[in-house]
Structure 1
Amino acid sequence: MPSLFLDTERMANLNSGLGQLCLHLGRELVRQKPADWDITFLVKRHQVGTFGPIANYRVATRWGRVWRWWKYDVWHCPYQDTRFYPTRATKFVYTILDFNYLSLPQYSEQRKDRRKQHYQSMASKAQVITTISEYVAKDVPQRLNVAPTTPIRTIYCGVDIPDDRQMAEPAVKPSGPFLFFIGMLQSYKNVHTMLPILAANPNLWLVLAGPDKPEYSQQIWEQARELGVADRLMMPGAIDESTKWWFYANCEAFVFPSLMEGFGIPVVEAMAFGKPVFSSSLTSLPEVGGTEAFYFPSFEAAAVVDTYQKGMETYRNDPAMPERLKGQSAKFRWEIAAATYWQLYQDLLREK
């Protein structure tokens, strides 16, 4: 019986994008599992059983990286920063989400070099490299030495949209219409450039959700005070899934001015609610937003405000736009991703 091993150790933090990726991809792989395959997940001890009794589990510990008796036909790591790796006899699928770490100014060149060496080591072991966007697929051979015989395939992430029962209204929320952003608050997320929209719209709030880097959050607050909009800025920190869905469902629009993204799951999530999306036009984001997102031509204050004002006018005057946004979001589903991966796993086993 063929066996698949999936490294979902990062699922330990379910409030992170990576944790959600591991969870939802794992669930869908189990749902679509061929009857003649075994599937085993690498998890933290408290998450044994997450994918039900049909799956097997290995407990991730800090003592082990490779166990020679962990022998599987196919080993898939769905993110590039894994601490575990397979034996030589295993067909290895290595997923690269992005190379953002290598561009972040807060890390030394030595740390970046070590991280890049790790990526290279894993890529050299892989029979197939997968990415979550065409942008990253094109970036891989620019960053790493990839053998001509190693294919690079794009398999998009998915989004699972909950029903109303899975939404929880936060205890503290804006007292008026609001823009919403969710993600790690680091400088490359570029969210401080959205503050001029508040200055131009005195009834509007901005909610920036997600764990923050203190130096960047301090910069945001200082700029908000300078513009006189600090009383309409909310930064609730990391929020759980049910609260996140409430903010999507109730926001006026979603803003995502990020300068570096391997995919941009929040854009797909916002579109699933038919919400207008105002996005950066950089890296992978045009792939995700398609023709339905509004893109900032620059992040000068006047351009940001003008793009927002004109975009909202277009949205309000086009009653069919919410459904088109939902249609764009529907292109990215975990059932599509899982079906594509199962085909890949089976193709690998058929290869000599």
Structure 2
Amino acid sequence: MPHLFLDTERMANLASGMGQFCLHLGNELVRQKPADWQITFLVSREQVGIFGSSVDYLVATRWRRVWHPWTFDVWHCPYQNSRFTPMRKTALVYTILDLNYLSLPEYSAKRKARQKARYQQLVNQAAAVTTISSYVAEDVRKQLVVPPTTPVEVIYLGMDKPKDIVSSFTVKPDGPFLFFIGMLQAYKNVHAMLPLLEAFPNYRLVLAGPDDKPYVQELRDQATRMGVADRLIIPGPVDEATKWWLYANCDAFLFPSLHEGFGLPVIEAMSFGKPVFCSTLSSVPEVGGSEAFYFPAFDPETVVKVFQVGMETYDNDPEMPARIMEHSRKFRWELTAAAYWNLYQSVV
């Protein structure tokens, strides 16, 4: 009986994008599990049993990062910074979500070189490398050396929208609002969206996500200088229910990020038929497709013009919400898990 090991230790933070990725992928892998396969999940102690009783669990502890003489047929690291890698010869499936770390200015060249060497070590060890977009696959081939016999397969993320939208959000906007969710760091480029508050005084702007970076104070200061601070809402991290409520009730979703491996929030917003305004950079156009609106530049005049024309187009096309929702259905966890099962079976 072939035995799959999946490192889902990052589910310790289920509010994070990585935690949700591991949770949804794990659930769907269990649902599709071939009868002749066994699965073991690496989890935090409190999450033993999270995928049901038909699979096995190992508890992630600090000492097991250096000593884990477990034997499996396939070992899947579903993110490039996994702290648990096989000690023994086994078929390693190594997923690279993005190489953004190597481009961010806040990290020194020395730290980037160490991290790049770690990525390269795992690529050298892998039986197969997967990425979550063609953009990342191309970036991997540019920045790392992939052995000629090692396949690089693009397997998109999925999206699972809840049927019931209930929120405990206590700071609901008191008027129409625009929405962004993600890490509030400079590369997310959300400061470029503040001119929309100047141009459209009826709107509020909700920026949800970790708010412990200096960039957040820069956003607040810029909004104060522009006289729009009273309509800028930064609630910090929000729970899943609140996230979905914000998608369902916003007038439009903004995603001007400069570096993305995939851009899952784009698909989540599209699942409600919402107009999405995006960057043209990295993987975002690959995910947003022809039904999203794109900023060719981020000067205030261009941002305001693209938004104005896009909203007019959306409002005057009654069939557009349905087309947007249909596009989002191309990204489903059942397709993601099926692609991984095909890959696991091929590398055994």
TM-score (norm 1): 0.97
Cα RMSD, aligned residues only: 0.9
Contiguous gaps of at least 5 residues in structure 2 = none
1:6 aligns with 2:19: no
Task: Please state whether the residue corresponding to 1:202 is helix, strand or coil.
Answer: coil
Alpha-carbon distance in 2 for matches of 1:4, 1:222: 50
Alignment of 1:23-34 (within 5 A): 23-34=23-34
Question: Corresponding residue for 2:264?
Answer: 265
Letter in 2 for 1:84: F
Q: How does 1:23-102 map to 2 (within 5 A)?
A: 23-67=23-67, 69-102=69-102
> What are the within-5 Å matches in structure 2 for residues 1-352 of structure 1?
1-67=1-67, 69-164=69-164, 166-349=165-348
AA aligned opposite 1:156: Y
AA partner of residue 215 (structure 1)? P
8 A Cα contact 1:186 1:213, kept in partner: no
Is contact 2:11-2:23 (8 Å) kept?
yes
Question: Any conservation in 1 of the 2:157–2:331 contact (CA below 8 Å)?
Answer: yes
CA contact (8 A) 2:195 2:300 kept: yes
Question: Aligned partners of 1:149, 1:114: CA distance in 2, in Å?
Answer: 25
Percent of residue pairs identical: 65
* C-alpha displacement of 1:68: 5.3
Taking the aligned partners of 2:339 and 2:88, their CA distance within structure 1 comes to 24
State how far apart, in whole Å, the 2-side matches of 1:281 and 1:52 are. 41
1:348, CA displacement in angstroms?
Answer: 1.2
Rounded to whole Å, the distance in 2 between the matches of 1:314 and 1:322 is 11
Structure 1 Cα separation of the partners of residues 269 and 204 of structure 2 = 17
For the residue of structure 1 that corresponds to 2:194, the secondary structure is helix
8 A Cα contact 1:66 1:86, kept in partner: no
- For 2:271 and 2:58, the matched residues in 1 are separated by 35
SS in 2 for 1:290: helix
Shift of 1:112: 1.0
Amino acid at match of 2:236: G
Contact 2:158–2:333 (Cα < 8 Å) also in 1: yes
Q: Distance in 2 between matches of 1:106 and 1:32?
A: 41
Q: What secondary structure sits across from 1:219 in the alignment? A: helix
Distance (whole Å) between structure 1 residues aligned to residue 39 and residue 67 of structure 2: 17
Q: Distance in 1 between matches of 2:98 and 2:82?
A: 13
Q: Which secondary structure does the structure 1 equivalent of 2:290 belong to?
A: coil
Alignment check: 8 A CA contact 2:71 2:88 kept? no
Q: CA deviation at 1:109?
A: 1.3
Structure 2: distance between partners of 1:28 and 1:319: 34
Paired residue secondary structure (1:42): strand
Structure 1 Cα separation of the partners of residues 315 and 75 of structure 2: 48
Question: In 1, distance between residues paired with 2:166 and 2:116?
Answer: 39
1:64 is displaced (CA, Å) by: 1.8
